[in-house]
Structure 1
Amino acid sequence: MPHAVDWRSPDFLKIFELYDRADFAQEFLRRNPRYRAAYQRAAAPRRPGAALGRLARHWGLVFRR
């Protein structure tokens, strides 16, 4: 796991220089409590494939297999 950079560091913004749209989208979702709760609910059922498909459609995602 990469070392977390302190957001108060002068170098903090440098980590975003190489980000593309997908990286920013992932960061947004990772920090979004509504998405995180929805993902937890979708991953919990006996048939998570269908629930994850609905989650992906709702949030406009494509999960790689």
Structure 2
Amino acid sequence: MQPTLDWRSPDFPKIFELYDRADFAQEFLRRNPRYRAAYRAGTAPGRSRAALRRLARHWGLVFRR
């Protein structure tokens, strides 16, 4: 397992050099408490596929099949 890179490290910005738009969007959503709460609610056991589609539409997501 690789050690976690400290954000204060001078090498930290280098991890973002290869990121594309999707990578940055994923990082934004992963850290967004409102998205995380909506994702938990939309993917809770017993929820319909329609709930997941509403979640995706609200946040502008596209899930590949």
TM-score, normalised with respect to structure 2: 0.89
Q: 1:31 matched to which residue of 2?
A: 31
Kept after mapping to 2: 8 A contact 1:29/1:35:
yes
Q: Which has the higher contact order (CA 8 A, sep 6+)?
A: 2
Answer whether contact 1:45 1:51 (CA < 8 A) is retained.
Answer: no
TM-score (norm 1): 0.89
Structure-1 residue corresponding to 2:21: 21
Structure 2 residue ranges without an equivalent (≥5): none
Aligned residues: 65
Question: Any stretches of 5+ residues in structure 1 without a counterpart?
Answer: none
| Residue type at the aligned position of 2:44 | A
**Aligned counterpart, 2:41:** 41
**For the Cα contact (< 8 Å) 1:42–1:55, is it kept in 2?**
yes
Q: How far off its partner does 1:63 sit?
A: 1.3
Identity %: 80
Q: Distance in 1 between matches of 2:22 and 2:47?
A: 27
Given residue 56 of structure 1, which amino acid in structure 2 is its aligned partner?
Answer: A
Query: Deviation string for 1:6-33 (max 9, x for gaps)?
Result: 1011100000000000000000000000
